[in-house]
Amino acid sequence: MPAVLHPAHDVRTPVPFVSLDALAAHLIRQRPGREVQISEGQASVDGGPLVPVVNAWAIRPRDGRAFHNDPEGFADDWLGLVFAGADPWRALTAALKRVRSAGGLAA
């Protein structure tokens, strides 16, 4: 499965990316001054079986602790679902690290 974002504003319209690094850079650029936070989950693609996904949020740095205590309270900061193969958590974590190392917003 290629790197695909189902954006929060329209989860039924997936946005494919050339690479997971391109998707990570996109997430980082969504809300400048915020940190991308991710969590594991499962979702169905077009009514099919549940597959692993990553939920992505853009959180104010000062809200990190509150987010980890109650992610549900940050619905307005949700960026969407990331589908990226069998282990999207590890893949997206690595991509975010590479993009941040390369300059983040400039990537």
Query: What tokens appear for 101 in the block?
Result: 């190392």
Place of tokens 């190392």: 101
pLDDT at 45: 73
pLDDT digits (tens, 9 = 90+) for 72-97: 889 999 999 998 878 888 989 999 99
Query: What tokens appear for 57 in the block?
Result: 């949020």
Domain boundaries defined on the chain: 4-106
Backbone phi and psi for residue 104, each to the nearest 5 degrees, phi listed first: 65, -95
pLDDT more than 90, % of the chain:
62
pLDDT at 105: 53
**What gap in Å lies between CA 101 and CA 13, rounded to an integer?**
30
pLDDT digits (tens, 9 = 90+) for 16-67: 999 999 999 999 999 988 999 999 999 987 788 998 999 999 999 999 899 9
DSSP-assigned letters across all residues of 60-106: -GGGHHHHHH-GGGGGGGEEEEEE-SS-HHHHHHHHHHHHHHTTGGG
Query: What tokens appear for 41 in the block?
Result: 């989950």
Other beta carbons within 10 Å of 90: 13
**Whether pTM exceeds 0.75:** yes
Closest listed residue to residue 14, CA positions, set 93, 88, 80, 107 = 80
